[in-house]
Amino acid sequence: MDSIDQVGIEKSNTIAEMSFEEALNSLEKVVENLDRGNTTLDEAIELYVYGTQLRKHCSAKLDSAQKRVAEIQKQEPEILQS
């Protein structure tokens, strides 16, 4: 069992398989655990690494969504003006 499981964060999916909402929820749990300060140094480092991976995934999902919206705006400008 790894340290993340020990502090109550379940890694049920690989990060790449997570939706934005799943990744954000997991990231919030990581932050809560780090803020509490009741983890060992090794656990904190593992949580930090996992949190960084989750943040990158969330950022990529948001970038993708932003690009999709920009494409919709280019294709359908009249919809947005109403």
pLDDT tens column, 35-47: 999 999 999 999 9
User: What gap in Å lies between CA 51 and CA 35, rounded to an integer?
Assistant: 13
State pLDDT tens for residues 30-82: 999 999 999 999 999 999 999 999 999 999 999 999 999 999 888 876 665 65
Residue range of the domain that includes 52: 3-81
pTM: 0.79
Number of domains comprising the chain: 1
Comparing CA positions, the residue from 3, 16, 80, 12 lying closest to residue 49 is: 3
